[in-house]
A and B are shown apart, each in its own frame.
Chain A
Amino acid sequence: MTTIKMLAGALALTTALSTPAFAQTELSLWYHGAGNEVEREILLGIIEDFNTSQPDWTVVLEEFPQAAYNDSVVAAAVSGNLPDIIDVDGPVMPNWAWAGYMQPLQLSEGALDGFLPGAIGEYNGEVYSVGLWDAAVAMYARRSVLEEYGIRIPTLEEPWTLEEFDAALVTLDASGEFEYALDLGMADQGEWYPYAFGPFLWSFGGDMVDRTTYETAEGVLNGDEAVAFGDWWQSLFDRDLVPGTSQDMADRETGFIEGDYALQWNGNWFGVQTLDAVGDDLLFLPAPDFGNGPKIGGASWQFGVSATSANPEGASAFIEFAIQDEYLAAFSDGIGLVPATAEAAAMTENYSEGGPLEVFFALSEAQAMLRPVTPGYVFQALEFRKALSDISNGADVITALDAATDAINADIERNNGYAVAQ
């Protein structure tokens, strides 16, 4: 009898002690960073902090490699196996929201105050996703080179104009010191094209789609401004100022550092390693102003809640927990991206006042523009990429832009204008 009592007591005690663990509802989180040890460590730290900070939810991480992530999410959506929390690339978010993969976030009032616009994923009047960081692009240059050839060092307030920028490229090319005056990164033939080169088109006054209606690309992708951009773009290759589409990825990674390229259009994620190699001579310059203001692309990876989550309030609670400044700063220090708030930037090594990458925060704040916020963007990006590639390789500019415009218009029509399902 005593034994039975002891067993019963032990059972009761065990049950009582384990009750809090059982009470927590599990939330699955899918993340695109498999293979990145630093990201994994930071994210696991946030998850652990969240899980121990409250009694209701426990987040479980499942990582995917970035190149396979979008396909995995689409496959899971088809088979009805989406997790509670997903991360999504900013420009892809409208497509997933439109396709019914995501639902709006349930964040507290003021939770996103002070966030860089590029870190907030808004579609159809609702916030679907939020990023802990943004990414920015700058013109990498050497102060000594610009000074040697008498080229003005541009500032945020007074960026290069088209004429100035073009003249600088010609001067650098004529010097004979470099293989190419500018490296655009043509070797990276993925999202880099619309992300990095779309802003040139925007600054010329064109776009991938008419943002007032999102129903046509007519007149914006093949209008006078876009053609002017296309002509100038093609002239870069015709004049051998930049490497073409056959550029080797190895040259992309080493060309500027080794002095083969005078300038390089590159993201902040290459900033630290380039600084290490080039030192104080390195400058991160703002985008040139091609007529309609200097622009760079905004929006990187963000967290959102899947449409099928049975616990959207828990999923949103985790996201709101994760966007605290200390975590934004931790991610920035870990992987070098631009923290989403000024407060977080002040806490980082690279983006705080006087930090080596401080300029990127200012660039994000002043020049970042979102890629078209429409479900059709994923298609538009492919067409834009193809048109740019064709133009680089000598295709007729008007024909290439007309073809892209027609394809984008046909896609919009096929999808009934990407109307939101009621």
Chain B
Amino acid sequence: MAAVTEPNHVARTTWRYALLIAVAMIFVFPILFMVVSSLKPDAQLLRDTSSIAAFLPVGDISLDNYFGAFRRAPVGLFIFNSIFITLVTVLISLFLCSLAAFAFAYLEFRGKAVILSIIIATLIIPFETIAIPMLMVVNSLPFIGANGVQWGWLNTYHVQMVPFLADALTIFLFVQYFKDLPKELIEAARLDGASWFQVYRLVIVPIAGPVFATAAILKFLVMYNQYLWPLMVTQSEQVRPVMVGLQYFFQLNTAWGEVMAYLSMITIPVLAFYLVLQRAFIASIASTGIKG
């Protein structure tokens, strides 16, 4: 057995860090390019793309592109709309999908396997194939709001939320996680007289933090990046989300600096959400005591 000498250790550590830094750079560089470019005027931005200066805040640096972006489009409104739609959908979706998964994992009822199979089978249907039929359906649905009953859901927040409140992937994630939890916990709770909903709320939810965090992150990304559906159902600027808003910046002569400024601004909520849930994710594993 070869002895682990000090120079060997240093060399291996150096190599390891060099490799990790190289890999990290692959992920960091696009974000760095976006943020740095958002501070440069268009001419300089385009000129710098062919050199390392593209990643450095050098030259004529200012926040002009950010001011320009706010002048060009109601950026704050778009970000609010997206965050509102996304958060409401994620919260309701986590509740509904976890409840459905709970039933599939622990309750016995006729046709359970078939229904679950059908739900999972919907994963292979691309959204684009059902977009037009869905549009026609939501366009003829009633909605009871502040102004009484209204027909047609177009140009509303709820038309961007309701179709996505339950989805096969989220249900599948929860089912798989719930199936691996110790059955003894549920049996003990039931013996103590807990109702099924109490079992869900008081036993399962507290120990299912990781899957809630994972599902929330995935759902958040899907909802925040929605483009085709909002494009079809929002004809009013007041309810448009960020991805449709991005198109405001592509004109005959595209203002690339403003595009980068807008992208930088709409990326912040995604990063913030991920960082917050990343902590919750780690905390939930640490507190459950049932890992492994």
Contacts and interface: CB of A to CB of B under 8 A. Distances in A.
Interface residues of B, number: 32
B13 to A, nearest CB: 39
Interface in B21-41: none
A253 B247 contact: no
Interface of A: 30, 34-37, 62-68, 71-72, 75-76, 78-81, 248-250, 253-254, 267, 269-270, 273
Contacts of A267: 252
Interface string B225-259: 00010011101110000001101111111101000
Contact of A63 (B233, B237, B250, B256): B237
Contacts of A34: 73, 237, 247-248
Interface of B: 43, 46-47, 49-50, 71-73, 132, 135-136, 139, 152, 154, 228, 231-233, 235-237, 244-245, 247-254, 256
23 contacts: A30-B235, A34-B73, A35-B250, A35-B251, A36-B72, A62-B237, A63-B237, A65-B244, A68-B231, A68-B244, A68-B247, A72-B231, A72-B232, A75-B233, A76-B235, A78-B136, A79-B135, A253-B46, A254-B46, A269-B252, A269-B253, A270-B253, A273-B253
- Where chain B touches its partner, the secondary structure class is helix
Contacts of A72: 231-232, 235
Contacts of A81: 139, 152, 154, 235
The 5 tightest CB contacts between A and B, nearest first, are A35-B248, A65-B247, A75-B232, A79-B139, A250-B46
Contact of B250 (A30, A65, A248, A270): A65
A68 B232 CA distance: 9
Contacts of B136: 78-79
Contacts of B253: 269-270, 273
B232 A35 contact: no
A123 to B, nearest CB: 25
A1 B72 CA distance: 56
A63 to B, nearest CB: 7
A176 B73 CA distance: 45
B251 A36 contact: yes
Contacts of A67: 247, 250
Given A34-B73, A36-B251, A65-B244, 5 more contacts: A35-B72, A72-B232, A75-B232, A79-B139, A79-B154
A47 to B, nearest CB: 16
B135 A78 contact: yes
A73 to B, nearest CB: 10
Which of B154, B228, B247, B254 has the most CB atoms of chain A within a 10 A radius of its CB? B247
Contacts of B237: 34, 62-63
Contacts of B248: 34-35, 65
A62 B49 contact: no
A75 B47 contact: no
A66 B251 contact: yes
Contacts of A62: 235-237
B247 A66 contact: yes
Contacts of B244: 65, 68
Contacts of B72: 35-37
B121 to A, nearest CB: 27
A75 B131 CA distance: 10
Given A37-B72, A72-B232, A254 B251 contact: no
B231 A71 contact: yes
